[in-house]
Amino acid sequence: MNLDAVYSKLLVKTDAKMALIVLDGVGDIATKENGEMTPLEAARTPNLDSLVAMGCAQGRMIPVAPGITPGSGPGHLGLFGYDPLEYEVGRGVIEALGLGMDLKAGDVCARANFCTVDKNGIITDRRAGRIATKLCEELCSLLSSKIKKIGDVEVIIMAGKEHRFVVVFRGPGLEGPLTDSDPNREGLPIETVKPTNPNSAKQKKMAKVVAEFYKKALPLLANKSPANAFLMRGIAHQPEIPQFSDRYGMRAAAIAVYPMYKGLAQLVGMKKIEGPQTISEQFERYIAEYDNFDYFFIHFKYTDKYGEDGNFEAKKKAIEEFDAALPIFMKKMPDVVAITGDHSTPAPIKGHSWHPQPVLLYSKYSGSDKLQRFTETGANQGSLGIFESKYLIRLMMANARMFNKFGA
Amino acid sequence: MNLDAVYSKLLVKTDAKMALIVLDGVGDIATKENGEMTPLEAARTPNLDSLVAMGCAQGRMIPVAPGITPGSGPGHLGLFGYDPLEYEVGRGVIEALGLGMDLKAGDVCARANFCTVDKNGIITDRRAGRIATKLCEELCSLLSSKIKKIGDVEVIIMAGKEHRFVVVFRGPGLEGPLTDSDPNREGLPIETVKPTNPNSAKQKKMAKVVAEFYKKALPLLANKSPANAFLMRGIAHQPEIPQFSDRYGMRAAAIAVYPMYKGLAQLVGMKKIEGPQTISEQFERYIAEYDNFDYFFIHFKYTDKYGEDGNFEAKKKAIEEFDAALPIFMKKMPDVVAITGDHSTPAPIKGHSWHPQPVLLYSKYSGSDKLQRFTETGANQGSLGIFESKYLIRLMMANARMFNKFGA
């Protein structure tokens, strides 16, 4: 029997409120160089400590599978209870979300970048010398103003950083994935995109639309320099994801600052809350919205950012900054709170990693693991053990008493 | 490859003896109100401690899946090594087992309860004012004496508590599940039961038998008051479960006091041992039967009972009572001992819960986790980690050296 179906069958509606607080990439590793401490262990966190003292369960979570380092997409899908191996978020979709674009079901997204071609159409620079973001924006404006529709398909173009941009195709009967137009090295011409499934009528239509897009766009760039052409990759649609409210029976809000996380939350049906720019403002907004939602996803970026920089001290300070704001949140404790990361971003690794992230769970029914603090080493001894991230929301729901007993 | 098939292939016959001692619902949570102690932690358990000191492995077990609270059926099936998501025990079956009825393969069981209907057959009280158990017994006797067979189908009726009773239909070519005759609220007539699969000839026959049962039974109750009719729910057969001796190559005995647990054990093919009424008597009987079986399931009910009552002190005392009897068992230590619960029944929750129950495993080969006691917090640090209950018997078998090496 499908486990998701079992959970659905046992679901009961309650008035419980819950909050998932994500310290992006918070998990870390203790190394000799850092005094055998992780940033969580080295940070002064009096408020987090006081939450732990209220009686929490701890454990560690595997974002996707042992040894697998997730991107932000799979990391968050797991936290939202969707198996990242089953529900994949396309790269074009992630790029579009990162630029704050509102996507609709069925949209096909492509990552694109300006390039330079010679008079024979041979690519001489795949990144057009990494043109300035401002020029990229101008070129995207030009394309946008001239190409709004191709047949019944709406074309939405948005500039990213430097030579990067995103194209969204919106219309009936479209589907990806298509092959790339990027041959992945210089000295070759731009390739014609093709369906990956030659029997898919939707992919064939999509390939025609892209060919038409090239036909209209290339002449507009022909006299520009150095960005006189462009390459497209990861041309795919966002497969449908069961919506949060249908799946869990909860109204969910996303209180994030960065567009990508708001976008990921929106993809599963959460309501994006716009406005807050700091973790204090996010917590204030949580208080203000408390009555309007059942589930709050609150995202804090800087633990990941400084982990990516390899900056142990800054990551530690980001945790302390988060901790300083925590009392605002704790003024209105929901029935269930989980604090964790979407993955680890160890400073010594300067990037996402596969190390299970620590997780803290608080509710009236979580039980106390009698730990003093929330750290990786402490979490290793917690009653939650090591488990896959996708189960976190199920544990939160159990703690909210949202499941009937299974069997008699 | 199916994992059960792998285990079967590796199975070797040994003379090993093993015992699974189930402290029903023993797992608990530490809360501030209880001094951040669980009953296991608060109890004085010198004998359990001495067993731990012999060198045990500990861990925690997930009865079904993260966040899922099991009933006794799935809880025990898991302990017996059957995936509770694959092998479901019907509610009617559980009720029948709880009344101590001996079920045969193919029996269809229904939960029933007396109700009150008005002269137009409209239900005015779904529980007939919760009639006394004695009256229920009289009415069931009346029905039993008048309705013994319907065609080739034997009808067995047994009274439960208050308005509740169970009907077992035994005969060739029967199958459930059928829809309920209970419309689930007053003001409606009794419904006609129907096959859930309209293409099943066996379900069609079963529905006819139930209709005939109603036709014979209702006139017998027509002049009674307030219980002048009855409703039936959960009309289902017990799907076949692979039998214990075939699956594990062991002769198994169940030494339980309460009928439901004896019944669950019998369902998988264990021999019910009748007689013992206390845990001391159960252990004495284990000693007496030692040579007759390879696997002993010994069930202690009171940890669950007092957990359900929310009575922390009584649950703690039940553990101490169990501990006081343990030396009887330890006079004849089998090769492998596991002590655990079928689930947690935390006193603060007053019911079964999803919290992984602690498990202790002793054998010459278990290794020692160097813990002082058997508790939830200690078990969190054990070498067994957190695992699904269905694997416990595999670990016990491994400790009994019952598996050949996999691969070369």
- Our CA-based measurement puts residue B81 at a distance from the nearest CA of chain A, in whole angstroms, of 17
* Total residues belonging to chain B: 408
- Our CA-based measurement puts residue A297 at a distance from the nearest CA of chain B, in whole angstroms, of 20
Question: What is the C-alpha to C-alpha distance for residues A403 and B308, in angstroms, rounded to an integer?
Answer: 17
Kindly state whether A365 is in contact with chain B, defined as any CB-CB distance less than 8 angstroms. yes
| Single-letter residue type at B234 | G
| Of residues B13, B3, B33, B5, the one with CA closest to residue B245 | B13
Kindly state whether B118 is in contact with chain A, defined as any CB-CB distance less than 8 angstroms. no
- Our CA-based measurement puts residue A406 at a distance from the nearest CA of chain B, in whole angstroms, of 5
Interface of B with A in 307-326 (CB under 8 A): none
Q: Which of chain B's residues have a Cβ under 8 Å away from the Cβ of A400?
A: none
Residue A325 is classified by DSSP as H
Kindly state whether B353 is in contact with chain A, defined as any CB-CB distance less than 8 angstroms. yes
Residue of B nearest to A393 (CA): B67
Give me Rg for the CA atoms of chain B. Answer: 23
Beta strands in B94-174 (DSSP E): 108-117, 123-125, 149-150, 153-159, 164-170
Predicted local confidence at residue A242, as pLDDT: 93
- Our CA-based measurement puts residue B343 at a distance from the nearest CA of chain A, in whole angstroms, of 12
Predicted local confidence at residue A240, as pLDDT: 81
Question: Which of B66, B376, B380 is the closest to A395 by Cβ?
Answer: B66
Kindly state whether B350 is in contact with chain A, defined as any CB-CB distance less than 8 angstroms. no
Predicted local confidence at residue A206, as pLDDT: 97
- Percentage of chain B beyond pLDDT 90 is 91
Kindly state whether B69 is in contact with chain A, defined as any CB-CB distance less than 8 angstroms. yes
Predicted local confidence at residue B28, as pLDDT: 98
- The token pair that represents A96 in the structure block: 């579009």
Kindly state whether B367 is in contact with chain A, defined as any CB-CB distance less than 8 angstroms. no
Kindly state whether A369 is in contact with chain B, defined as any CB-CB distance less than 8 angstroms. yes
Q: At what angle do helices A72-79 and A392-399 cross, to 10 degrees?
A: 30
Question: What is the C-alpha to C-alpha distance for residues B143 and B213, in angstroms, rounded to an integer?
Answer: 10
B384 and B363 in contact (C-beta within 8 Å)?
no
Q: Which of chain A's residues have a Cβ under 8 Å away from the Cβ of B68?
A: 6-7, 10, 394, 398, 403, 406
Question: Which of A364, A382, A398 is the closest to B354 by Cβ?
Answer: A398
- Our CA-based measurement puts residue A146 at a distance from the nearest CA of chain B, in whole angstroms, of 54
Which residue's entry shows tokens 């200690």?
B378
Kindly state whether A14 is in contact with chain B, defined as any CB-CB distance less than 8 angstroms. no
Q: Count other Cβ atoms within 10 Å, centred on residue A282.
A: 23
Q: Count other Cβ atoms within 10 Å, centred on residue A208.
A: 15
Predicted local confidence at residue A105, as pLDDT: 80
B2 and A340 in contact (C-beta within 8 Å)?
no
- Helix, strand, coil share (%) of chain A residues, nearest 5: 35, 25, 40
Q: Which of chain A's residues have a Cβ under 8 Å away from the Cβ of B95?
A: 408
Kindly state whether A355 is in contact with chain B, defined as any CB-CB distance less than 8 angstroms. no
| Of residues B407, B389, B79, B396, the one with CA closest to residue B249 | B396
| Of residues B108, B89, B109, the one with CA closest to residue B99 | B109
Question: Which of A1, A382, A405 is the closest to B69 by Cβ?
Answer: A405
Find the helix or strand (DSSP H, E) in which A386 lies.
Answer: strand A385-388
Question: Which of A382, A394, A407 is the closest to B67 by Cβ?
Answer: A394
Q: Cβ contact (<8 Å) for B89 and A55?
A: no
Q: Which stretches within B252-399 are classed as H helix?
A: 259-267, 279-289, 302-308, 312-330, 376-379, 392-399
Predicted local confidence at residue B115, as pLDDT: 97
| Of residues B95, B96, B78, the one with CA closest to residue B87 | B78
Alpha-carbon dihedral of residues B60, B65, B66, B69, nearest 10 degrees?
Answer: -90
- Percentage of chain B beyond pLDDT 70 is 100
Residue pLDDT tens, chain B, 408 long: 689 999 999 999 999 999 999 999 999 999 999 999 999 999 999 999 999 999 999 999 999 999 999 999 999 999 999 999 999 887 788 889 888 898 888 899 999 999 999 999 999 999 999 999 999 999 999 999 999 999 999 999 999 989 999 999 999 999 999 999 999 899 999 999 999 999 999 999 999 999 999 999 999 999 999 999 999 998 998 878 899 999 999 999 999 999 889 999 999 999 999 999 999 999 999 999 999 999 999 999 999 999 999 999 999 999 999 999 999 999 999 999 999 999 999 999 999 999 999 999 999 999 999 999 999 999 999 999 999 999 999 999 999 999 999 998
Degrees, nearest 5: CA angle A362-B61-B299: 120
- Our CA-based measurement puts residue B233 at a distance from the nearest CA of chain A, in whole angstroms, of 14
Kindly state whether B376 is in contact with chain A, defined as any CB-CB distance less than 8 angstroms. yes
Q: Which of chain B's residues have a Cβ under 8 Å away from the Cβ of A81?
A: none
For CA atoms B153, B154, B156, B157, give the dihedral sign.
positive
Q: What is the mean pLDDT of each run of 10 residues along chain A (408 residues)?
A: 91 96 98 96 98 98 97 96 91 86 89 96 96 96 97 96 95 94 96 96 97 97 96 89 95 94 92 96 98 98 96 98 98 98 98 98 97 97 97 98 93
Beta strands in A68-107 (DSSP E): none
Predicted local confidence at residue A94, as pLDDT: 85
Q: Cβ contact (<8 Å) for B29 and A370?
A: no
Kindly state whether B91 is in contact with chain A, defined as any CB-CB distance less than 8 angstroms. yes
For chain B, list the domains and their CATH numbers.
14-87+241-399 (3.40.720.10), 94-237 (3.30.70)
Question: Which of B68, B349, B386 is the closest to A385 by Cβ?
Answer: B386
Inter-chain contacts counted by CB atoms under 8 A, chains A and B: 109
